[in-house]
Chain A
Amino acid sequence: MNNFSYTRATDITSAVNEASREATAKFIAGGTNLIDLMKENVARPTRLIDINRVPLNRIEETKDGGLRLGALVTNADTAYNDQVEKRYPLLSRAILSGASAQLRNMATDGGNLLQRTRCYYFYDVATPCNKREPGTGCSAIEGFNRMHAVLGTSDQCIAVHPSDMCVALAALEAVVRVTGKNGDRAIPFSDFHRLPGDTPQIDTNLEADEIITSIDLPPKGFADHHAYLKVRDRHSYAFALVSVAAALEMDGNKIKGTRLALGGVAHKPWRSKEAEELLNGKAANSDNFQAVAETVMHGAKGFGHNTFKIDLAKRAIVRALKHAAQMEAPR
């Protein structure tokens, strides 16, 4: 780890001021991703701005009947919050399927959105990587790419976003509230993360001087019909190969609304509105779900080691939709 200066901020304004003063400074919240990257010399901030004393650690109702998750609420406190468990069980499930109890006690909701890819080459400073060092090339495209993306890739980068929480937030259409030098913004979840394109070094549309203040959940929580299915190499404490957040609005066996988001397959939580609309007014059955899966994965491209993810994702989509429609019980 490199040497650095340390600032402890106790309010939003001073945190933003500190960040805008020094381009190579970084906020630190739980530290579970940033400290890891600093130990590997992947991140080398000149200053850490500790935001843990900024009062953003509450969960409260919003005026429109939704729920506001303060950026510094821990993943554990979010998953076990009464309101989240009751109204947004999809989010609880997704969070609890990630990391370990210890890490979830440290990890914050804001930090979870900004965690970086687990691509092995990104972590290994001895190898070329466009995300870590733009212009050096991508070691994964022709290297080991079992964990990599099959949708939305570019010839610059095929990394995936590793978060489980974000897959549920994408399905719930959360809004990310941020504050920077130029004031406040509300970013719809689908616009928060980016595809790699020609700038894989930039993961999100957050500016360097902006701090996430909260993640707002809209009133609709899909508590009656939801599922989070995570497929991975071991049963617990492993990142997803493929994950699916499915949420349905149903009238008897008829589907009135669908939300579907995938993790482990792209540089951001993946949604296909086209596929979701296929289910409007349709019955919940295997054929209709299979059609959705084919549409979501249409155009998917494997890179060798990860080509299995295309079929795996299709099967996971069908199964998650069945769980959400309560056609079969989750195992």
Chain B
Amino acid sequence: MAAGAIMRVEQNTQANTQTVSLPSSTKITLTINGVRRELQVEPWTTLLDLLRLNLDLTGTKKGCDHGQCGACTVLVDGKRINSCMTLAIMKDGSEVMTIEGLAQNGALHPLQQAFIEHDAFQCGYCTPGQICSAIGLMREGHATTADEIRESMSGNICRCGAYPNILAAIQQAMAHRRNVDRVAGERSVNPIANERSVNP
């Protein structure tokens, strides 16, 4: 869109009649788990509802719908966010990564594998959000110690209280990542490019 241009989506409310016609939806483009999709959305559809209700990507969970639990965490343009607190239309043109997009060629993501190995869940309802959040945490690179990881994961509530095992799983994935980085660094003059291709 050219600078200064404005996009408007109007609600078709017809004056002087009893009926209110269905509000218009609009076309947006999202790349979801690597697949580019053109979608018709209504302005008030949250990203979470779009994923779950329109696209059947029910791995992302709805816990509170108010930003208070983290079950709906997904990665948008590489950053972890609460998909319940954002409208799909606001993210037009973005790349969205959900729990369904993490496994590559049938192999679990190292964090998924670590969650299984450490038994980092009971009911599993918070797990997709925990895993997406932890991927965001690892990319941000601000948290390294156990206390820092706990603090940085505080936006993901686990009602079953699997916190110690979640922490252990994240620490294992971080150690794995350091190994991958080290090996990549030894193999390549461009460790950054290499690391990206290893870890989604």
A: which residues have CB within 8 A of B?
A: 1-11, 13-14, 18, 28, 30-32, 35-36, 38-39, 46, 48, 50, 52-53, 76, 80, 99-103, 105-106, 235-237
Q: Is B15 an interface residue (CB 8 A)?
A: no
Structural contact, B151 and A236, CB atoms closer than 8 A: yes
Decide if B110 is an interface residue (CB 8 Å cutoff).
Answer: no
Please pick, from A13, A52, A105, the residue contacting B79 in the complex, using a CB distance under 8 A: A105
- B21: min CB distance to chain A, Å: 11
Q: Check B6–A106 contact: CB distance below 8 A.
A: no
B window 20-76: CB within 8 A of A:
23, 26, 42-44, 46, 65-67, 70, 73
Taking CB atoms, residues of chain A closer than 8 Å to B80 are 101-102, 105
Q: Who on chain A is nearest to B82 by CB?
A: A102
Residue B4 interfacial (CB < 8 Å): yes
Contact sample, A vs B, 25 pairs, CB 8 Å cutoff = A1-B44, A3-B23, A3-B43, A4-B11, A5-B8, A5-B9, A5-B10, A5-B23, A8-B6, A8-B7, A11-B4, A28-B87, A30-B85, A31-B85, A31-B86, A39-B66, A50-B89, A76-B140, A100-B156, A101-B80, A102-B82, A102-B133, A103-B85, A105-B136, A106-B86
Report the bound CA distance from A11 to B2 in whole Å: 10
Chain B residues in 8 Å Cβ range of A31: 85-87, 90
**Chain B residues with a Cβ closer than 8 Å to the other chain, count:** 42
Among A6, A10, A39, A237, point to the contact of B154 (Cβ < 8 A).
A237
Contact B81 A39 (CB under 8 A): no
- Closest-by-CB residue of A relative to B44 is A1
B4 touches A32 (CB 8 A): no
Could you tell me if A103 and B9 are in contact, using CB atoms closer than 8 angstroms?
no
B193 within 8 A of A: no
Q: Which residue of A lies closest to B41 (CB)?
A: A6
Chain B residues within an 8 Å CB radius of A52: 90
Q: Which residues of B contact A2 (CB under 8 A)?
A: 44
Q: Is B137 an interface residue (CB 8 A)?
A: yes
B residues bordering A, Cβ < 8 Å? 1, 3-11, 23, 26, 42-44, 46, 65-67, 70, 73, 79-82, 85-87, 89-90, 133, 136-137, 140, 142, 150-156
* Chain B residues near A32 (CB-CB < 8 A): 67, 82, 85
B156 to chain A, nearest CB (A): 8
Instruction: Report A-chain residues with C-beta under 8 Å of the C-beta of B90.
Output: 28, 31, 50, 52
Add 13 more A-B contacts to A6-B26, A76-B140, A106-B82 (CB < 8 A). A1-B44, A5-B9, A8-B6, A10-B3, A31-B87, A38-B44, A39-B66, A50-B90, A101-B133, A102-B70, A103-B67, A103-B82, A235-B154
Minimum C-beta distance from A22 to chain B (A) = 11
Q: Establish whether residues A102 and B81, one from each chain, have CB atoms under 8 Å apart when the complex forms.
A: yes
Which residues in B have their C-beta under 8 angstroms from that of A36?
Answer: 66-67, 85
For the complex of A and B, the 5 pairs showing the least CB-CB separation, nearest first, are: A100-B155, A236-B154, A6-B43, A8-B7, A237-B154
Contacts A7-B6, A18-B6, A80-B142; A101 near B85 (Cβ below 8 A) = no
* A4 engages B4 (CB within 8 Å): no
A235 to B86, CA, bound (A): 26
Report the separation of the CA atoms of residues A21 and B150 in the bound assembly, to the nearest whole angstrom. Answer: 47
User: Hey, which chain B residues are within 8 Å of A100, CB to CB?
Assistant: 67, 70, 154-156
Contact B5 A10 (CB under 8 A): yes
Chain A nearest CB from B136 CB (Å) reads 7
C-alpha spacing A308/B199, complex, angstroms: 50
Docked Cα-Cα span, A11 to B80, in Å, equals 27
Q: How far is the CA of A1 from the CA of B7 in the complex (A)?
A: 22
Q: Does A5 contact B43, Cβ atoms closer than 8 Å?
A: yes
Query: Is A6's CB under 8 angstroms from B85's CB?
Result: no
Q: List chain B residues, Cβ under 8 A from A1.
A: 44
**B44 and A3 form a contact (CB under 8 A):** yes
B26 to chain A, nearest CB (A): 8
With a CB–CB cut-off of 8 A, which chain A residues contact B70?
A: 100, 102
Q: Once the chains are docked, how many angstroms separate the CA of A312 from the CA of B90?
A: 42
Q: Kindly name the residue among A76, A100, A103, A105 whose own CB sees the greatest number of chain B CB atoms within 10 A.
A: A100
Instruction: Write out the residue numbers on chain B whose beta carbons fall within 8 Å of the beta carbon of A101.
Output: 80, 133, 136-137, 140, 152-155
Q: State whether A7 touches B7 (Cβ < 8 A).
A: yes
Q: Which of B4, B9, B150, B155 is the one whose CB lies under 8 Å from A6?
A: B9
In the complex, chain B residues whose CB is within 8 Å of the CB of A5: 8-11, 23, 43
Q: Give CA–CA (A14, B1) in the complex, Å.
A: 14
Q: Complex: how many Å from CA A79 to CA B189?
A: 32
Give the residue name and chain of the A residue nearest to B11 (CB).
A5
Docked complex Cα distance between A282 and B142 (Å): 38
